[in-house]
Amino acid sequence: MASRRTYLDWNATAPLSERARLAMIDALLLPGNASSVHSEGRAARSAVEKARRQVGALVGAEPSHVTFTSGATEASNHVLTPDYRMGRSPVTVSHLYVSAIEHPAIREGGRFAADQVTEVPVTPDGIIKLSALDALLAGHDPASGLPMVAVMLVNNETGIVQPVAEAAALAHKYRGLMVVDAVQAAGRMAVDITSLDADFLIVSSHKIGGPKGVGALISRGEVLMPKPLIRGGGQEKGHRSGTENFHAIIGFGAAAEAMSEDLLGRNERIGSLRDRLEHAMKEAAPDVVIYGEALARAANTSFFTLPGLKAETGQIAFDLEGVSLSAGSACSSGKVGQSHVLTAMGHDADVGGLRISLGPETTDADIDKAIAAFGKIAGRRKVPEKAA
C-alpha cells in the first residue's frame, strides 16, 4: 500500500471542504435558472443570494456589492480598466499603479495598455514602498483621469501582509481608486473592506475550500463601477452577464461561511504548526533563508530558500518524499519559472524559493513528515562554500 501523501500547497488551491461539497450536492437538486420568475427560478435565486450574503460576510461587505465571476483572474480583468461609470456618466481612470510583487493577474494590468501601468518597488523585506507610491501619485496628471492603485493584502508567495490601509490612504489622497487582491487573505485573517479603506476587493473560492471556477469582485459601494467585462443578458445587475455558475456559487458561499467561523483559533493552531516546522528547518539547515520570518505574515505560509538547492529540484525532491509544495506560486500551467517576487526583493531568483502552505486540515503528522523530508533533502544537497 502506498504511504499517505502530505498536501502542503493550500495557497495554490485548498481541497474542497466537506461543507462546500454537501452544499453543492444539495444544489444539484435545484433545477431552476436563477433569472427565471417561476417557483424553481425563485428557489435558485434564493440560494444564490444566500451565497452572496455568505461571501460578503467573509470580508465585511454588503451582499449587494458582491459580483460573482469565474475566478480572481476574471475579477481582476473586470476591475482593472480605464472605463468606469458613475451612474450614466463615464469616468476615466488613466493610470494603474501596482506593487512589483503582485500576482500576474494584477501585474498584467487587466484592460489597461502597457504604458498605463507602473510598478511600485518593494523593500528587500518584500513590502511595498509607500514613499515611492506617494511620489508616483504626486506626479500623476489628474487632468488625464483618476489614478488606480492595486496592492495585495497577503503576498501569495511569501505570505507577508502588505500595508494596504496606508496605500489606500495615499490613493484617496490623490482622488484615486484602491483595489485589493484579498485572495490569500480571506479566511486566513480578519478582512474588512471598510477598515482597509478599499474601493474593491478580489476573492477566490478555491483558496478557501470552495470549488474552482468561481470568485468575486466586491465593491465598497455601487456609485462608481467598472465597465462590464462580459456583456449579454444583464445578470449580476448588469455587472457580469451570463447564467450564474450556480452550483459553484453555492459551494463558494458554504466555504466562505465555514472559513468565517473560529478564525482566530484556527489561525493560532495553523501558526503553531508553521512555527514548529520552521524551527525544525533551521535546526536541520541553519543556513536556510525564511523570507519575512520577522514580519507579519499569513499564519499558514512559509517561503524559503535552501542554499545549494534550486527550487524546481527541491519541489521534485519533496514530491518524491510524498510531500506536495510549490516552487513559488502556481500561476501558470505546469510551469516552474523564476520568482518575480524574489527578483523584486533583490534576491537571487535563479535559485528560487519553496513555498509550504498549510490549511485547516493540516495535522501534526503532516508537519512531522515535512520535517523528515526537509532533513533528508537538506542533508544530501551540495552546500555552497560560502554557506558551509
- Domains along the sequence of the chain with CATH: 6-15+263-383 (3.90.1150.10), 21-260 (3.40.640.10)
CA–CA distance, 311 with 327 (Å, rounded to integer): 5
**Is the overall model pTM greater than 0.85, yes or no?**
yes
- Residue 381 has a pLDDT of 85
Which of 30-44, 222-236, 285-299, 373-387 has the lowest average pLDDT?
373-387
Query: Which element (helix H / strand E) includes 271?
Result: helix 263-284
Mean local confidence (pLDDT), 242-264: 97
Which residues lie below 8 Å from residue 104, measured CB to CB, with a gap of 6+? 331, 332
Cα 62–Cα 63–Cα 67 angle in degrees, nearest 5:
110
Of all residues in the chain, what percent carry a pLDDT higher than 70? Answer: 95
The answer to whether residue 217 scores a pLDDT higher than 90 is yes
CA–CA distance, 49 with 256 (Å, rounded to integer): 13
- Residue 50 has a pLDDT of 98
Tens of pLDDT, residues 46-70: 999 999 999 999 999 999 999 999 9
Catalytic residue among 331, 336, 372, 383: 331
Q: Which of 223, 227, 250, 248 lies closest to 239, judged by CA?
A: 227
CA–CA distance, 49 with 70 (Å, rounded to integer): 17
Identify the band that residue 100 occupies on the pLDDT scale cut at 50, 70 and 90.
very high
The answer to whether residue 257 scores a pLDDT higher than 60 is yes
The set of cell numbers assigned to 285 is 539547515
In angstroms, the Cα distances linking 73 to 101, 152, 181, 292, 326 are 16, 13, 10, 26, 20
- Residue 388 has a pLDDT of 45
Mean local confidence (pLDDT), 198-205: 98
Task: Please say whether the beta carbons of 326 and 10 come within 8 A.
Answer: no
The answer to whether residue 332 scores a pLDDT higher than 90 is no
Expressed in angstroms, the distance from the first to the final Cα of the chain is 39
Residue with cell 500561476: 331
Residue with cell 486566513: 188
CA–CA distance, 196 with 22 (Å, rounded to integer): 33
Mean local confidence (pLDDT), 223-251: 95
Is 331 annotated as catalytic? Answer: yes
Tens of pLDDT, residues 125-184: 999 999 999 999 999 999 999 999 999 999 999 999 999 999 999 999 999 999 999 999
